[in-house]
């Protein structure tokens, strides 16, 4: 069984921007994504307001390291200042690497 | 606090095959699993159809590397061709390793 | 884009203790957390009863290795014996490390 290394990029953010985000993520090279409903608490960008009461989503994307960097740079530039958003990556082993 | 390395195997697939999958996963040596509801988009096996409108589930299993290989080989042989399914692994540190 | 290593601590446990847990996790130094609804099966502490029918939650916390150790030691001492709970960690790369 041959496996390949890919990056799992996780984005946790406000549900209200889901459609816009997904569109941009696909434009930047993601071949698929998984979304789960989440809730949580954190601190919000420059406004530092509580992030308690919002509906959040967790978006997970398996992609090449290059695509992960493209997506996270884009989100950092365009969303970090205005939306509650955290983002992290780690390496995973996948089968059928051509899908990602 | 002693921790041990185990494999976290994640399967994202169609909700319709949950019961069958769970039964097989347990037969192959998993001692437990966690399921969350998910939705997403990807490309589906040989048919390449859109994977947009289905209800998906994410199954997470912590197990030994051997069990992870057994499960993923089994799913690859029996499901990859017919169902929307992605699968990936990474290493995690666990407490109470005897449970996994 | 500068990233920093942090620990992602995942706790899967009974939904009934969510508020208590969250309060303790924050007291022990977590700056935020994400919760998703989950269901699953495993074996429960000393009672070894089935863990099938309960509603579970998955709590994910990104923090420093030190905070992760503090939280997991605390949960191990106070919850492992009485509640269905699994816990695992792995390293992730984050942006805006000052948030975690």
pLDDT value of position A14: 92
Tell me if A88 and C94 make a contact (CB, 8 A cut-off).
Answer: yes
Does residue B43 surpass a pLDDT of 90?
A: no
Q: What is the pTM of this model?
A: 0.90
Convert the pLDDT of each residue in C3-35 to its tens digit. 899 999 999 999 999 999 999 999 999 999 999
Task: Answer yes or no: do A90 and B90 touch at CB < 8 A.
Answer: yes
Q: What is the CATH number of the domain that holds A80?
A: 3.30.70.120
Q: Judge whether B98 lies within some domain.
A: no
- Residue of B12, B36, B100 for testing the chain C interface, max C β-carbons within 10 Å: B36
Whether pLDDT at B3 is above 70: yes
Mean pLDDT in chain C? 87
Tell me how crowded residue A7 is: count the other CB atoms within 10 A of its CB. 21
Instruction: List CB contacts (< 8 A) between A67 and chain C.
Output: none
Instruction: With respect to residue A26, please indicate whether it lies within any of the assigned structural domains.
Output: yes
Domain that residue A8 falls in? 4-95
**Residues C24-67: tens digit of each pLDDT:** 999 999 999 999 999 888 765 444 445 555 689 999 999 999 99
- B9 to chain A, closest Cα gap in Å: 10
Q: How far is B36 from C57, CA to CA, in rounded Å?
A: 9
Query: A100 in a domain, yes or no?
Result: no
Instruction: Assess if residue C62 is contained within a domain.
Output: yes
List of chain A residues whose C-beta atoms are within 8 Å of the C-beta of residue C90: 90
Q: pLDDT for A27-84, tens place per residue?
A: 999 999 999 999 888 765 444 445 555 689 999 999 999 999 999 999 999 999 889 8
Task: Please state the domain count of chain C.
Answer: 1
Give how far Cα A70 sits from Cα of A34, A39, A61, B22, C52, Å. Answer: 18, 26, 12, 36, 41
Q: Which ipTM score applies to this complex?
A: 0.86
- Nearest CA distance, B26 vs chain A (angstrom): 21
The single residue listed with the structure tokens 């992760």 is C68
Q: What is the mean pLDDT of residues B27-52?
A: 75
Q: Which residues of A65-100 are buried (b: 16+ CB within 10 A; e: fewer)?
A: eebbbbbbeebeeebbeebbbbbbbbbbbbbbeeeb
Q: For residue C62, what pLDDT is reported?
A: 96
């Amino acid at each position: 069984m041959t496996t390949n290394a890919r990056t799992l990029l996780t984005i946790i953010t406000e549900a209200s921007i889901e459609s816009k985000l997904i569109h941009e993520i696909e434009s930047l090279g993601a071949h698929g994504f998984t979304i789960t409903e989440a809730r949580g608490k954190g601190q919000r960008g420059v406004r530092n307001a509580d992030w308690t009461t919002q509906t959040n989503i967790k978006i997970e994307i398996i992609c090449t390291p290059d695509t992960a960097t493209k997506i996270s740079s884009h989100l950092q530039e365009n969303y970090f200042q205005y939306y509650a958003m955290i983002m992290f990556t780690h390496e995973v082993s996948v089968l059928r690497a051509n899908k990602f």
